[in-house]
Chains A and B, each alone.
Chain A
Amino acid sequence: MNIRTFRIGGVHPEENKLTHEVATKVAALPKQAIFPLSQHIGAPTKPVVQKGDKVKVGTMIAEAGGFVSAPIFSSVSGTVFKIDTAIDATGYRKPVIIINVEGDEWEESIDRSTKLELVKDHPELTPEEIVSRIKNAGVVGMGGACFPTFIKLTPPPTAKAECVIINAVECEPYITADYRLMMEHADEILVGLELLMKGAKVTRGYIGIETNKPAAIELLTKKAAEKFTNSDYQVEVVPLAQRYPQGGEKQLVDAVIRRQVPAPPAIPVNVGAIVQNVGTAFAVYEAVMKNKPLFERYTTVTGKKLANPGNFLVRMGTPMKDLIDACGGMPEGDNKLLAGGPMMGKALTSVEVPICKGTNSVTILSGDDARRKEPQPCIRCAKCVGACPMGLEPYLLAKLSDVKNWERAEREDIVSCIECGSCQFTCPAHRPLLDNIRQGKATVMGIIRNRNAKK
């Protein structure tokens, strides 16, 4: 087997995939569902419901607020309680729609059968029709960044898409939601991939999976061979060596098709690749074939001290507390609650934060795992330079950010940082490298935006 990986940097954190073989459970309906108006990259949505309105499962409650935006659909049936503010995954109070749950009544337009729909049975699905259905269903990247999917499928005229790469790497420790999805819905994912390829007008597809998921590689290789042999499409399942951050778009493109994405503002499609998460492929299948907008997702709830960690099919808007309680409740003592995995997840201060479109995991770190070690002076070992998957010099960028030398930081390409945290993970002196770099990156990006706005 030819095992590939990306060429520069990377680390290999302890996997801790505690919930690998735990079959997905359907999470109980919440009593009250909370929908932040901004669940994606781009303009926040505008509410289209008012206090007291009755909604069903799948009713649109907020419309797209701009071109880069995605509508939000209710995941529950009930009454709109109020449009207020609540703490979301940013850690701040943001505008939200709160719905009191009553029963579980779905919109009639949604096909709830489990019958597998195939693309060849639906000649009405032109590429334009596929993209428009994806757009109208509010599908965004499900890996965490939440970029609206339809925009990725319609690349700028300067770039030409050549292939679709399905990101089934799941390189973050602890998280197993994508793996469970692949094991339980492989056929739907492959139809989703076919829809994505048709929508993007390409014929080549890849599915990148790390070798710590041999069962998924085997299953998808078999099913892809059955499905795509003697078809117009060439689909290849690519086993990848275990290395973080392989799930980063640019790293995955490098690993799978051996092309390096240039520095920003270039995006993967500039080298011909459209990268979509495996969860997105499933959401695309449901949106296009079942007319089901995006309001459910697979989420892992995990932690070493958690009594029963598990994988859940959860309605968005469910507070994390409900899921944690379903896993045996918050462990005793001090815990660190993360939306996402331990490498890139965001620490939260409230368990009332709802599951959103991008919440692939709720991770609870306890005891020593939750704490940082005391930072020591830099010993100039350059381990961070070796670990950086973007070929940057993290020690230097951190220092430049610390002393606010923005010009130099820009010259040293601070905006290329993907904030994966490999530098900080590998630093033997436990220095807060990424904390500093993030500050610098945000400031430099602001400076660049201002400069471009003036032009």
Chain B
Amino acid sequence: MRLIFNWCTLFFLVLVMTGCSSNSNKKAVNAADLDSIMAEEAKNAPAGPVRNNLSADELIKVSDCNDAACVQLFMKDLATDFVYAKKGEFASLTRSAIKDTAGQEMIMPVSTLYFSTDPGADWRVAHTVHKSEISNQLLNEFTAKGFSLQDSGYYYPTKARAYHYTSAQYPGKVLYFSTTYKPWGAKGIYLGANWVSFVFEVLSAQ
């Protein structure tokens, strides 16, 4: 009888001890401390991407590359902003809603950097931007570096008209800019792409 009484006492003791205690409520914070707590959490959070696309300077630099290893080495320093998705495909870590031709919104990287990996394919490095605002901004960067429109014509790799820009400050460099639905034929996210892309390619005369 005494044993049962002891067990019952223990049972109710545990019940009382756990009755008002909630792990979730224990982790509640004071509203007055919210500022410092949010600042602390933000400080401990992993660093996110800080930009959407490559700059004009970086595109000019990467145009000196003639093979995949060179591009990969160049992009290594930009690992906080770009992820190496697949062979020959870098994608911006910033994502945004892009509208396709039917008006449907899709979430995708704001920009990509693709380079040739197929055996026998012509060497090509292209920076593709999916938002017109960013495209205009990048084009303005090139204009600020003295790039001016020289010519235009059908550009086979993008299946569209490309505009050629050159600058006296960067002899031997030609910017090919095209607006297209086929920035890279059938590669990566552009397999069956139905949204407009803005393709930047800086070609070296060498």
The yes or no verdict on A and B being binding partners is no
